[in-house]
Structure 1
């Protein structure tokens, strides 16, 4: 822009100077020639007034020419010509008399009674003259002035004009450059500010002024301030959106029509098992990511929502539920968005619920079927007293089993729901174990198993005494039931800093390694036939686990087949 302004200014100055020279030079030349014409006209007036008819033309011309040349300081040529024939009578330049000059422009005009004026090179002297001729009393008086000096002056004037032109151009260039620099300083400031903003400096401003560029600078500052405010709002909204996305427990990802990631939260990588999800890149890196990308592509192409399930071959297996929808901006398709939810736990709960219903149905059906069968037998005909008593005893056993099952189910439900379980009660471990020793005494003698109880004196737990009693009852009952004749059961409870460590060990048949992970499931039995024969409901250890977890404790099991089993429970002492 600076170069254009400089070139434009210099070009304008050159054109203006040339135009001025073209106008002034002819004007000066005309003025100078007018002055010469007036001077020669005056000479002719004097000559025509002083010339007498009896004067010698040659002498008269010679004397007057010398006087005039000396007086004016320039060469003046005088000629007398016959007004009728155009023949030369006398000439101060030595023109031959009787030479015909009737065809000379100035002479021809004078012969017609006009003032003749002409400029040309003389054939006689070879010099350039300015001629003026008038006719008085039949004589044509002609005066001429040598133009060589005039041409020299004209050349000087032309040279001066050229020098002035060059000087004007140089001065114009210097002034234009200075003026352009001064005028373009705000423009340079604007350019620098715009470049800085492009580089990320959004807080740069320019100095406003009162001229047009100053107004532009003020507008630039307002635009920059508006841009900063807009970007701040956008960043704030982006941060809010990012916060919302990151707080969602489900994975959320949006892609464009080419499958490139637009936005996502960290949960996406966690659920799909990806180390990194990159915005602007397609989903890849695992079979789950490829499956999700296919669902999103299908949604974008069909322009309709879709659902799908992704099973990941992890340990344990993870099941993801995917819901996709079209992504539109102002009713224009822009891609697709997906919400990914980990439903592994839900599916497991559904499976457990189904198994629970099936197990409860089976466990209830078995004793009811037995009771109903023996009732039908009693009703079908006369039975002797011994048979009836035997049938009554079986019905009583099955009814007791049914009652125990219902009681365990109710206990488990109460523990899970926290129903009627106040937290401000205290349970004395030593007293609870002493009571249980009297309860299990008969069963111990029947099984031929010894029970050893050892509790740290004064050990009290912040829990419902009923729950502590249920915990010990189920563990000791299992330890006795699955023991061997002559076996032993050992129960210890001691304080370990702010926790109570309970250990129930037996020398029984033990638990297979593959079954140890499932023994806390409802209705799970390692040996179903033996368990039912011993009157077990399959809910004892599930009750124990839920009691421990409800009071913030932990339970572990270690067992070796043929050697025995050890249950270790830790419960907080301080609530």
Structure 2
């Protein structure tokens, strides 16, 4: 019983199987069997009637003329042959009946085979099945008539009741949907066709048409408004990025050209001004020594002031020219093998007198016992600028320390002071040219604000990095990291680079 239920052969199974046959098939089969039955009935009636008439004729003849009847039977009508003819008549009747019912059966089978197989109806209505699909869907016949659709289809298209009723025309519905907007073809092949419907309210719908087996097609409707807006936004952003990148490149070229022009101008200006300044300083020295006659004490003070001012201006323009040459790539570095400890010792001796005059302790850290390959003059200039700033901005009884640390990949040079320190905002601009500190804290400065800028440029040209760590009131530490270079490396021409 269980197997019968599983296989569907029970009474309900047979009813489902025969329930699939259409009424037209039943009518054709019934008509064929009725026609065969009528034919067999008529044929049997005629056969029985012929046999009965022949027997009646023989009886009447025997009753009227016995002698003639016996002679006719003996000469014409053989009783044995008559029995054979009756059997042949019955056999022919049976054969014709079989042929008639066989033809009827063939007609019924042919009518049943022409009927397409219809799937058993589901307990769930098609409308409920379509309602479970998360996007708009509609089924159409081969001639474009609506079979069924879901609520998503109605909502996405804002369809009128006439557009979603069973039998509605697909072409008419599309014409109403496109009003005020436009539709464009995206892709089309043998299996599907994709369209984009841009409506008057700004929404964009993707319509995917797919054929169904046996005729008809299904329409899938998806709202891609947000996707298209995002695509347009990304496209606009990319275009703006391209424009900004082009403008940035143009501005960069202008800035580089302006920087080169500035560097060239500063170089020519420094050179042109240093020449008359040297004359002024020379004549001031000549007058101070009273070479061509004595001067009063007041004039001697004026001459000293002229000489000191000239020397300050000369140092200012010398620093400007050095920075212009370094940034312009016209300074040639000649790397040689250097002992780091000797380099720090030379810088310490150079600034020891200046530190003593200000009451600052200038000390040297532990030996690093390291060798590097670099331009000695440039490194001494770099360290001199850093130490000079440290002494200048450190109050009396302060301390400035020079230390070197050797590592496997390079050497770090540090200059630490206990001076006034700098804030984070000041650190952001301290390495920029002509950047000065707080005037209230640096009244005694006499530089051009180029010391750290020149030092950073020299370090970068030497392949290193310069970092500054400072806290207001606690002091500043300037660290310079230099890589280990090949001692056999030739001189580096910055202009060639």
TM-score normalised over the length of structure 2: 0.46
Higher relative contact order (CA closer than 8 Å, sequence separation 6+): 2
Give the greater-gyration-radius structure (CA). 1
